[in-house]
Structure 1
């Protein structure tokens, strides 16, 4: 059923309990909310790729949709009333990733309502949680998704491109919407300090170039896909002291997409890549090494490949989020260091 049709199927009583998204004149930067929690709320206006959202009153019930947006409020001590169930990297099938479970335990909180997004956003489930704000700063919302969610509560969407919001910007946008901008900046500073300290313990990584190879079909290596510099996994490389290869930077400049596909016959374009990170098992690496074209890539030839489990938390955490960074940092850097040693 189309999203709008599903939403209109909600009862009138349910709709009356949720707030409507309010809009005001655009502002160049998010503003307001400085006195959150003091009873002196200042309306917050946030511009994003899908519109302008104003949060008129202090949100008490926070819902999040799409990947990892619940981690910002949790990191700031706020338990959402509802959030998307994990559909990738969930090690025990409960819909909650391990670093989120740890934070909920730390806060002494029960698991929020989990939205099943297997077939897209469950608008009825979101409305049933009666949110005051819906966070989706890191997401793939369409304009239709946004418009439908905005009938439920004010929505904070991504600033520029779908699935292209860096972890710092996710924290800034969501913390601003919650009236906790200063706390958001403190969270960013704490994570940066933690990252820098860990990176300093792995000096061999510094300056190595890396690409993230993805969606590799071991039965057909005629094409390979990779994440562009617009993807958060690739952005994270720079936090870890790695460099963006010129080949990836050039390809990324031609698109706003987070991934691209190239023919294996163009594999020599990646001769400037020192380290390859990818998802898969040992069979994937063996297949790359046996392929007459891809085996000529320097990173494959030297064995400088970080092979992350595609169905587990470690692979999932390569996509940095406010809570996963601390959870994965040391393990990820150790794998990258081992690959750098081979380069």
Structure 2
């Protein structure tokens, strides 16, 4: 038995390489929202159970239950504090751990170590004194192993950033209360929204609010300490690959774009031109390299799938005539962990990323042409 949760379709942005059959098909691109049909009105009740706090979870009872969460496939009712959580999506596992519970099953994280765990998640699990969770298995077409989830005996399944269909949601709900995406596939909302939603599901509303306030404060401090950010507009795109005739640029609702605005930057005023090229519910648009001069931006920030792509991009004769590139006001994120931390921001990954990301951005604004973590051209 298997469950299809294939990620966003290929886009003019870098898709991470699969780390074996267990890696998500969803790419760091976060590029195209998978259009799935049908939204049911099912309701799932908590299976309770699991006195075993297991792999780092808390066994303390909560008075915040039952709770109900409305989402794209209906309403989920959770009657007792979950202790065994499976995260069928990125970012959700960070929030669960930040709130004090170590999940029992998670997606292997692109940008993580050889075992599939990001440094900030691994560090949090160690601080909680828990055991690293089992990583979920996927088939060649992105099908999740349904029996594996069943064997983990979860009392909550989270898929806020996923493409869980209505049929799959109903099947998962037979195992445990399931919270899929709230409005549309592959859109978990802002990192703040995800934190509050998961906080509600775990009966940790106050802690979730505190985490959001703390991280928002850190981002506000970055903006205050770097006033030049507020004076700079930016465009966020992807490195070119051989044969590219256009530059992929992300929309203003993409997580990595929102993160930059939270640090004080202003998104390009040319967003309408980019939006005009967007098809369906994709999170990116394409601009012909011959028309790059029509895109206004003081700074260009991009993600590269491989170091060689950066070199190729900076040698393209059309791209290098674009003002921010000509003036060396650019920053390429090539470290996979930093790419994950800033493309899928969470209350755990943002603090980890800031000490690495902010210096790169400051150098880009200063015209030092950053081509990787801590390196300038």
Ranges in structure 2 where 5+ consecutive residues have no aligned partner: 5-42, 47-58, 369-377
Structure 1 residue 43 displacement after superposition: 1.8
1:205 maps to which residue? 229
Separation in structure 1 between the aligned mates of residue 196 and residue 117 of structure 2, nearest angstrom: 23
1:285 and 1:271, CA in 2 relative to 1: closer, same or farther beyond 3 A?
Answer: farther
Asked whether the 8 Å contact 2:2–2:145 carries over to 1, the reply is no
Structure 1 residue 249 displacement after superposition: 5.2
Number of residue pairs aligned between Structure 1 and Structure 2 = 312
2:256 maps to which residue? 233
What does the per-residue CA deviation read over 1:222-243, in whole Å, with 9 as the maximum and x for residues that have no partner? 1322221221111111111111
What does the per-residue CA deviation read over 1:45-96, in whole Å, with 9 as the maximum and x for residues that have no partner? 111223221212322221111212111111011111211121x112x31111
1:166 aligned to which of 181, 185, 190: 190
Q: Is 1:326 paired with 2:335?
A: no
2:371 maps to which residue? none
Give the RMSD, CA atoms, in angstroms.
2.5
1:121 maps to which residue? 144
Query: Which structure shows the higher helix fraction?
Result: 1
Structure 1 residue 160 displacement after superposition: 2.5
Q: Is 1:297 paired with 2:322?
A: yes
1:136 maps to which residue? 159
1:126 and 1:180, CA in 2 relative to 1: closer, same or farther beyond 3 A?
Answer: same
Which range moves more in the overlay, 259-268 or 277-286? 277-286
1:316 maps to which residue? 340
Q: What aligned pairs does 1:68-147 form with structure 2 within 5 A after superposition?
A: 68-86=91-109, 88-90=110-112, 92-117=113-138, 119-147=142-170
What does the per-residue CA deviation read over 1:226-277, in whole Å, with 9 as the maximum and x for residues that have no partner? 2212211111111111111122355448653222333333323323353332
2:201 maps to which residue? 177
The TM-score normalised by the length of structure 2 is 0.75
The TM-score normalised by the length of structure 1 is 0.82
1:3 and 1:289, CA in 2 relative to 1: closer, same or farther beyond 3 A?
Answer: closer
Which range moves more in the overlay, 280-289 or 128-137? 280-289
Which range moves more in the overlay, 256-265 or 93-102? 256-265
Equivalent position SS for 2:175: coil
Ranges in structure 1 where 5+ consecutive residues have no aligned partner: 5-19, 24-35
Separation in structure 1 between the aligned mates of residue 259 and residue 227 of structure 2, nearest angstrom: 17
1:141 and 1:252, CA in 2 relative to 1: closer, same or farther beyond 3 A?
Answer: farther
Asked whether the 8 Å contact 1:279–1:308 carries over to 2, the reply is yes
Asked whether the 8 Å contact 2:232–2:365 carries over to 1, the reply is yes
